[in-house]
């Protein structure tokens, strides 16, 4: 393309020199290469426009070739032509006269100077890689302001490089200025001529062309004699000192036939050479080439990284599937219920994925309990599991801030002049909030399903032997807390507890706290209450006796129970007592002010502190525990929602639609539709709270209570999911 453009640009210069000699004869006078060149240019015109156009084309081309500059241009190597165009294009763009004339003048000038330059040189194909050649050409083009300088630069560089290669040394191109001054060695010139013929349409090198210009009738035979080239291409720009530049001998020695006898180059040397070549190659890259190279290098790395990530995720997915499979095996009961409900065999993998996914979610949640609450491997006091918070902790902080504000209202030095009503255990007046008591509250669940008389020495002496002695405090590794100053029970109830055997004392004290917290929120049947207050426990039933003491609001019995547990229960048992109270009486999002206050007080009395209690709450419910209530202040009530008020009242909840009761049990929203994930998540937390491992320091009875509560949560989940009618 550039050649055509150049020829087109040179046509006006040579048009006036057209000769009258017939075209065919003139073609015959050309060498074979020149004829083929002219033919490639003009034959297409003959096909397209006819013989006249062909003749004109040939005539024009011949006229153009008749000028010395154009003829020499055609004989130039690719590198020389490139350098020529670069030099002239730069001048054209920077010079004052932009246009073809200036370009032509430049090219004439450059070509005329090029004739006097050393012969073009081409490196030994084994000495330079293509990239090195390109790098060399770029540097010489950049640092040369003429084609002749470019050629000298190339010659010097190639000579130096080949010399370095022959010495098995790292390629270290000399400075361009010094290289320009080095005379071209004979062997290099010879090689350059041979190489040049590859880049031109079988034209001769410049001396031959020059000779053909001088004698157009003679055949332009390629000159293979290096000596002739040396003679016909004197380098006027070189002085005598520069002609002795090193490298001439070494470039020849590289082709020595003795190379076969030389030992193979050291592997380190080869590596060093390869590295040096690589550096040169990279340095010679241009913008887009660097991008391509970078992409080529980065792409495999990216593919490897992607493969690694994919492999890791697949491994995790496989592990999760194995885990889910193991979970699904554990909950045969739920699987059977689902099978009955849906009529599908849950273990068959041929069923649709949608059903299997739901099934896996359900069974997984139910069966995950053993692992989720395997506290034995963790710090039991802290719950042993990481609990994600459902609510931001910010709320708890703000509540604490407000609580601190409310605390400021506490009297600092108020004399305790208030008296306590002696009739605390007596009947309540009409209009008392206790009027709206319910009959199916906590008491029923505690009494109906369990043999509360089990373990009573007076009723069944043999039962004590059948029970596991897990309630024994003497076997505990933890030492009991330091006894409080009061060691004598203040109430008859306290004395009665002391009269039981040691194993039973813990059980009874815990039971008292359970009823105290339950009945404090009025979770009892009014009729039952009346009966218990009349003669509860008179028949020797210790549980009725406990209920009666609680209904009588015996604060001394409460104090004795707390005191006994403080003295006799070890730390782990005290922690699990708090856990049990939360499991049995506190629903998610429904911790009443009474429950909150009691739990915080017991935590302090048990020596656990607020931090431990809040951690246990987070383990159980996955959310921070509310701050200590201040029900005596409107400011505190102003932040209580209607939803909370509803959930706090167990009696009101018991009067709701069964499905709403289930929602409350699982801490789910009381309004709106529930999706499966919400239900399963609510059940997950509820079921975690009930795991037997959380109560392994307590007795069988306490664990049975937790298991019963778990069954209630299961029922709530199944009913909400529609699994059971």
Minimum distance between the CB of residue 546 and another protein, rounded to whole angstroms? Answer: 12
Q: Identify which of residues 115 and 640 has a Cβ nearer to another protein in the complex.
A: 640
Contacts of the segment 492-499: beta carbons below 8 A, 24+ positions apart: 492/557, 493/545, 493/546, 493/549, 493/554, 493/556, 493/557, 493/560, 493/561, 494/556, 494/557, 494/559, 494/560, 494/561, 494/563, 494/564, 496/545, 497/560, 497/561, 497/564, 498/564
Considering the complex, state which of residue 490 and residue 723 has its C-beta at the smaller distance from another protein: 490
Torsion, Cα 522 525 526 528, to 10 degrees, reads -120
Closer residue to another protein in complex, CB, 183/494? 494
CA distances from 290 to 275, 614, 654 (A): 17, 60, 76
Alpha-carbon distance 172 to 165, whole Å? 10
What is the smallest separation between the CB atom of 506 and another protein, expressed in angstroms?
16
Q: Smallest gap, in angstroms, from Cβ of residue 603 to another protein?
A: 8
CB of 417 to another protein, least distance (A): 7
Give the contacts of 61 (CB within 8 A, at least 6 positions apart): 7, 38, 41, 42
Work out whether the CA dihedral 255, 260, 263, 265 comes out positive or negative.
positive
C-beta closer to another protein: residue 431 or 462: 431
Inter-residue contact 188 to 162 (CB < 8 Å): yes
Cβ proximity to another protein: between 515 and 713 the closer is 515
What is the smallest separation between the CB atom of 375 and another protein, expressed in angstroms? 22
- In terms of Cα–Cα distance, which of 657, 637, 659 is closest to 648? 637
Task: Let me know if 231 is exposed, middle or buried by CB neighbors in 10 A (0-12, 13-18, 19+).
Answer: exposed
Q: CA nearest 254: which of 374, 166, 357?
A: 166
Closest to another protein by CB, 207 or 629: 629
369 three-class SS? helix
Handedness of CA 540, 542, 546, 551 (dihedral sign): negative
Nearer to another protein, 398 or 424 (CB): 424
Question: Shortest gap between Cβ of 475 and another protein (angstroms)?
Answer: 19
Which H/E stretch holds residue 425? none
Cβ of residue 407: shortest distance to another protein, in angstroms? 8
| Shortest distance, position 391 Cβ to another protein, whole Å | 22
Q: Which is nearer to another protein, 328 or 566 (CB)?
A: 566
Q: Which residue's CB is nearer to another protein, number 259 or number 435? A: 435
Residue (12 or 483) nearer to another protein, CB: 483
The residue among 229, 232, 151 whose CA lies nearest residue 193 is: 229
Which residue's CB is nearer to another protein, number 370 or number 426?
426
What is the closest distance, in whole angstroms, from the C-beta atom of residue 397 to another protein in the complex?
A: 16
Cα–Cα distance between 123 and 251 in angstroms, integer? Answer: 10
Supply the minimum distance, in Å, between the C-beta of residue 618 and another protein: 16
Q: Give the Cα separation of 193 and 206 in Å (integer).
A: 10
CB 482, min distance to another protein, A: 3
DSSP element (H, E) containing 462: none
CA atoms lying within 13 Å on the CB side of residue 696: 10
Alpha helical stretches, state H, 67-205 = 68-75, 78-94, 100-115, 130-143, 147-166, 176-181, 186-199
């Amino acid at each position: 393309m550039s050649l055509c453009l150049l020829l087109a640009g040179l046509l006006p210069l040579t048009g006036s020199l057209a000769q009258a000699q017939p075209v065919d004869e003139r073609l015959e006078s050309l060498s074979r290469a020149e004829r083929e060149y002219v033919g490639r240019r003009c034959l297409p015109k003959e096909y397209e426009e006819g013989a006249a156009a062909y003749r004109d084309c040939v005539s024009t081309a011949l006229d153009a070739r008749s000028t010395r500059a154009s003829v020499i241009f055609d004989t130039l190597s690719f590198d020389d032509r490139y350098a020529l165009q670069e030099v002239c294009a730069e001048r054209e763009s920077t010079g004052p006269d932009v246009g073809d004339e200036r370009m032509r003048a430049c090219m004439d000038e450059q070509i005329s100077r090029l004739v006097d330059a050393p012969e073009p040189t081409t490196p030994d194909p084994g000495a330079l890689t293509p990239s090195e050649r390109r790098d060399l050409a770029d540097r010489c083009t950049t640092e040369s302001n003429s084609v002749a300088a470019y050629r000298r630069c190339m010659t010097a560089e190639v000579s130096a490089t080949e010399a370095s290669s022959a010495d098995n040394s790292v390629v270290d191109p000399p400075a361009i200025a010094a290289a320009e001054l080095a005379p071209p060695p004979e062997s290099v010139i010879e090689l350059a001529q041979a190489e040049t013929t590859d880049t031109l349409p079988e034209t001769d090198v410049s001396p031959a062309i020059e000779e053909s210009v001088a004698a157009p009738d003679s055949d332009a035979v390629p000159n293979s004699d290096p000596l002739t080239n040396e003679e016909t291409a004197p380098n006027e720009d070189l002085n005598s000192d520069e002609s002795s530049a090193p490298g001439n001998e070494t470039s020849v020695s590289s082709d020595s036939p003795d190379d076969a006898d030389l030992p193979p180059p050291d592997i380190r040397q080869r590596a060093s050479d390869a590295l040096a070549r690589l550096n040169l190659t990279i340095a010679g890259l241009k913008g887009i080439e660097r991008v391509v190279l970078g992409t080529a290098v980065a792409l495999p790395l990216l593919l490897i990284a992607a493969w690694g990530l994919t492999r890791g995720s697949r491994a995790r997915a496989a592990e999760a599937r194995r885990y889910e499979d193991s979970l699904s095996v554990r909950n045969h009961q739920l699987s059977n219920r689902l099978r009955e409900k849906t009529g599908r065999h849950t273990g068959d993998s041929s069923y649709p994925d949608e059903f299997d996914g739901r099934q896996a979610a359900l069974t997984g949640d139910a069966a995950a309990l053993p692992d989720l609450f395997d506290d034995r491997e963790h710090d039991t006091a802290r719950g042993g599991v990481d609990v994600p918070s459902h609510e931001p902790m910010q709320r708890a902080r703000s509540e604490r801030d407000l609580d601190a504000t409310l605390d400021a209202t506490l009297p600092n030095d108020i004399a305790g002049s208030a008296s306590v009503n002696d009739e605390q255990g007596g009947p309540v007046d009409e209009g008392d909030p206790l009027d709206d008591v319910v009959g199916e509250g906590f008491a029923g669940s505690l009494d109906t399903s369990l043999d509360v008389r089990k373990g009573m020495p007076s009723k069944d002496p043999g039962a004590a032997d059948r029970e596991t002695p897990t309630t024994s405090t003497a076997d505990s590794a933890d030492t009991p807390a330091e006894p409080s100053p009061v060691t004598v029970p203040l109430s008859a109830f306290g004395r009665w507890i002391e009269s039981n055997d040691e194993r039973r004392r813990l059980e009874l004290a815990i039971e008292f706290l359970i009823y105290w917290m339950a009945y404090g929120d009025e979770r009892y049947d009014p009729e039952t209450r009346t009966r218990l207050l009349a003669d509860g426990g008179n028949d020797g039933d210790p549980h009725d006796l406990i209920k009666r003491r609680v209904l009588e609001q015996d604060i001394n019995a409460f104090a004795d129970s707390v005191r006994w547990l403080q003295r006799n229960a070890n730390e782990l048992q005290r922690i699990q007592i708090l856990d049990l109270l939360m499991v049995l009486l506190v629903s998610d999002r429904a911790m009443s002010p009474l429950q909150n206050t009691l739990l915080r007080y017991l935590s302090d009395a048990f020596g656990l502190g607020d931090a431990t209690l809040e951690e246990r709450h987070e383990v159980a419910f996955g959310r921070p525990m509310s701050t200590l209530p201040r029900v005596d202040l409107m400011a505190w009530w102003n932040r209580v929602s209607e939803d909370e008020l509803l959930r706090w009242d167990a009696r009101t909840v018991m009067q709701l639609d069964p499905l709403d009761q289930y929602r409350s049990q699982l801490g789910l929203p009381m309004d709106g539709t529930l999706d499966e994930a919400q239900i399963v998540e609510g059940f997950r937390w509820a079921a975690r709270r009930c795991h037997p491992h959380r109560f392994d320091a307590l007795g069988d009875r306490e664990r049975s209570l937790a298991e019963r509560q778990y069954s209630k949560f299961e029922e709530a989940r199944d009913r909400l999911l529609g699994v059971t009618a």
